[in-house]
Amino acid sequence: MDIVIPLFDRFEPLDAIGPYEILAYVPGVEVRFVTDEPGPVQDVFGALPVHVPTRYDEVEQCDVLLVPGGGSHHAMMDDPAFLDWVRRIHAGTRFTTSVCTGGLVLAAAGLLKGLTATTHWNAARALASYGAVYTPERVVRQDRVITAAGVSAGIDMALELTALLTDEATARAVQLYTEYDPQPPFDTGSVAKAPADIVELARSLD
């Protein structure tokens, strides 16, 4: 099985690497990164240049498309040729998926029109502007389109996807191998759980 993750300049590292970590352990899965200009691709913080050798349009088909977000979603959404490619690839995937503001990219490609979907909490209004119905859930599956909420939600989505691509035992084994037994020291991981001053502080980190 062939999973393709487009990485553009200013990508959010965990959006892409969380799912990569989970999916790369699945027997029979190959994960490939693609980009718009092959070579080093910088992340949003600027300390992690990743070498991506493949231009997106060298890929004509894949089983799963996984679009991460971060600062890179603007470049993806402003590139009509890339959005065309997303639509073309989507026609042949088993699953088309996004993490964080990667959901805005699927929306801009017209793939979420009329669908219930999720994205980073701070991008909810933008998602709705493309005709998607935003829901503050962590992972939303509508047939073969799966969207995940912000950043770390890609890990949960990738485990669900693993079960869909293989079976539940494999997904559970990958969860154990990556020791994904989360115990966050605080409980303010969603807007519903965070007081207003923490929401303001979080917005200021952007």
By CB under 8 A, tell whether 55 contacts a second copy. Answer: no
Rounded CA separation 64/165 (Å):
9
DSSP assignments along 127-143, one per residue: HHTTT-EE---SEEEET
Q: Which of 64, 132, 145, 155 binds a second copy (CB under 8 A)?
A: 155
The single residue among 106, 107, 126, 153 that binds a second copy, judged by CB under 8 A, is: 153
Helices (H), the chain: 13-23, 72-77, 80-90, 102-108, 124-128, 153-165, 168-177, 196-204
Nearest to 98 by CA among 85, 84, 88, 111: 111
| CB-nearer residue toward a second copy: 20 or 82 | 20
- Binding test (CB under 8 A) with a second copy, winner from 116, 135, 142, 188: 188
Site stretch for a second copy (CB under 8 A), options 13-21, 75-83, 85-93, 108-116: 13-21
* Annotated catalytic residue 100: yes
Under rule CB under 8 A, residue 185 binds a second copy = yes
Asked if residue 134 binds a second copy (CB under 8 A), the reply is: no
d(CA 69, CA 8): 9
Tell me the number of residues near a second copy by CB under 8 A. Answer: 69
Q: In whole angstroms, what is the distance from residue 7 CA to residue 71 CA?
A: 11
**Tokens for 188?**
């303010």
Minimal distance in Å, beta carbon 128 to a second copy?
Answer: 18
- Are 148 and 98 in contact, with CB atoms under 8 Å apart? yes
Check residue 95 for interaction with a second copy (CB under 8 A).
Answer: no
The neighbouring-strand residues paired with 97 are: 66, 146
Catalytic sites, residue numbers: 100
- Residues near a second copy, by CB under 8 A: 12-14, 17-18, 20-21, 24-25, 27, 30-33, 40, 45, 47-51, 100, 120-121, 138-139, 149-153, 155-156, 159-160, 163, 168-186, 188-191, 193-194, 197-199, 201-202, 204-206
